[in-house]
Amino acid sequence: MNWLLVVVGGAVGAPLRYLTDRAVQAHQGRGVAYVFPWGTFTANAAGSLILGVLTGAAVSSPVHALLATGLCGALTTYSTFSYETLRLAETGRAFLAAANVVASLLVGLGDVLHQEGFTA
């Protein structure tokens, strides 16, 4: 039955990721040239924070399947992060590509570790 919870969580997380990306892009304005993948960065950071909270709360297996695996798995996206980082590098924006990698890792790990009680 956990597989169904993962499906339901994913069915919410995937559109939420899309809507997060669109909302961030709309906030930046349509006339603004694409500079940094803030939408994907925001969705990944939010998903990492939610996952950290859930892990720190030690939720039950069904809740973990629904929210951690399903929702957070669909909300966060390594493939889009990889693609956008590659596009930055290919278009001569190597510094922004590297910044995207470093910032995404630091924020994602920081969200989870902070919720787990680890502090630097």
End-to-end CA distance of the chain: 39
Of 39, 36, 3, nearest in space to 24 by CA: 39
pLDDT for residue 110: 85
3-state secondary structure of 27: helix
Q: What is the pLDDT along the chain (120 residues), one digit of tens a residue?
A: 889 999 999 999 999 999 999 999 888 766 555 688 999 999 999 999 998 888 888 888 999 999 999 999 999 989 999 999 999 999 999 999 999 999 999 998 887 777 666 655
Single-letter amino acid code for the residue at 58: A
pLDDT for residue 118: 62
What pTM was estimated for this model as a whole?
0.85
pLDDT for residue 120: 55
Give the residue ranges of DSSP H helices in the chain. 2-28, 38-57, 61-63, 73-75, 78-90, 94-115
